[in-house]
């Protein structure tokens, strides 16, 4: 593990060891010797944000954690075991990934049905989550554009990702393409649900406001090949709301992160 991260007595939840990515057989590297350690904080969890400019490899790192693809070299450990072991992880993608031939209710029920939860119980739990994300009254609509807005579709995906409380939730720029007000509503929703679930969430984004608003800790990716070049602790109280974004501490940290980001080549 890199000296950047201090391994304490807390259980490790995610560890990336010397991750490297090359698409030409090792002649050049997009990511090289990337290390990350996230510990399982009791009774709170962590909201980790990986922040970086477009194209720096943030989404690639998320895919390695999710097990969607493998790095050229290095190890991905989840709870101390190689990623090859099946581990329940949910992922929210950039574009809404709701299944449009299913209703909102059926979309949200799916993770429970895959775990063989009885259908009636799954429907009850799904309706509770649908209420939590503000979609009550839409549960029998098909989850597709024309029936629901982009923000509503992303709420369906978030509800589906969180309903089974997998402990690890990955988010790849979930507000992409949403207007500012809808994006803020999604951020408020995610922050509130995270506090209730006490899971570990990893969000990748290039949006500094979103990173500071949601995160407990920010890691900035930069350089060629890419790596973590800066860490920021976010000492803003929870719950966070619209007033948080106007507070002196928020604006001060946002400006610090912005200045650092703009200094990167």
Tokens of 154: 């992303």
- Cβ(55)–Cβ(30) below 8 Å: no
If one counts every other C-beta atom within 10 angstroms of the C-beta of residue 164, the result is: 17
**Hey, which residues does 51 pair with through a beta bridge?**
205, 220
Q: Strand 31-39 to strand 12-21: parallel, antiparallel, or no bridges (unpaired)? A: antiparallel
How far is residue 219's CA from residue 185's CA, in Å, rounded to a whole number? 24
How far is residue 117's CA from residue 110's CA, in Å, rounded to a whole number? 10
- Cβ(77)–Cβ(5) below 8 Å: no
Coil/strand/helix, residue 251: helix
Task: For residue range 158-209, list pLDDT tens digits in order.
Answer: 999 888 777 899 999 888 878 888 889 889 989 998 988 888 999 999 999 9
Residue 4 pLDDT more than 70?
A: no
- 238-254 average pLDDT score: 95
Which residue in this structure is represented by tokens 């200045």?
259
- Cβ(163)–Cβ(128) below 8 Å: no
What pLDDT does 18 receive? 96
Confidence (pTM): 0.89
As assigned by CATH, the class of the 1-87+210-265 domain is alpha beta
How far is residue 262's CA from residue 78's CA, in Å, rounded to a whole number? 33
Query: What is the band of 5 on the pLDDT scale with cuts at 50, 70, 90?
Result: low
Query: What is the band of 10 on the pLDDT scale with cuts at 50, 70, 90?
Result: confident
């Amino acid at each position: 593990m890199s000296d950047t991260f201090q391994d304490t007595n807390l259980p490790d939840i995610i560890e990336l060891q010397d991750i490297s990515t090359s698409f030409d057989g090792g002649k050049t590297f997009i990511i090289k010797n990337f290390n990350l350690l996230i510990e399982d904080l009791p009774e709170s969890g962590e909201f980790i944000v990986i922040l970086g400019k477009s194209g720096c490899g943030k989404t690639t790192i998320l895919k390695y954690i999710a097990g969607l693809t493998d790095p050229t070299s290095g190890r991905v450990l989840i709870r101390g075991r190689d990623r090859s072991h099946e581990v329940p992880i949910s992922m929210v993608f950039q574009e809404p990934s709701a299944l449009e031939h299913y209703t909102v209710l059926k979309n949200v029920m799916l993770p429970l049905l895959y775990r063989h939860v009885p259908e009636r119980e799954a429907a009850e739990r799904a309706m509770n989550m649908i209420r939590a994300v503000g979609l009550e009254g839409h549960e029998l609509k098909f989850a597709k554009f024309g029936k629901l807005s982009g923000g509503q579709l992303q709420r369906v995906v978030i509800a589906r990702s969180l309903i089974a409380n997998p402990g690890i939730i990955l988010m790849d720029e979930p507000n992409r393409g949403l207007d500012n007000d809808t994006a803020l509503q999604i951020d408020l929703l995610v922050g509130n649900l995270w506090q209730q679930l006490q899971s570990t969430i990893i969000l990748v984004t290039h949006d500094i406001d979103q990173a500071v608003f949601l995160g407990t800790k920010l890691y900035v990716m930069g350089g060629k090949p890419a790596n973590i070049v800066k860490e920021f602790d976010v000492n803003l109280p929870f719950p966070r709301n619209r007033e948080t974004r106007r507070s002196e501490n928020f604006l001060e940290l946002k400006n610090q992160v912005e200045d650092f980001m703009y200094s990167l080549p």
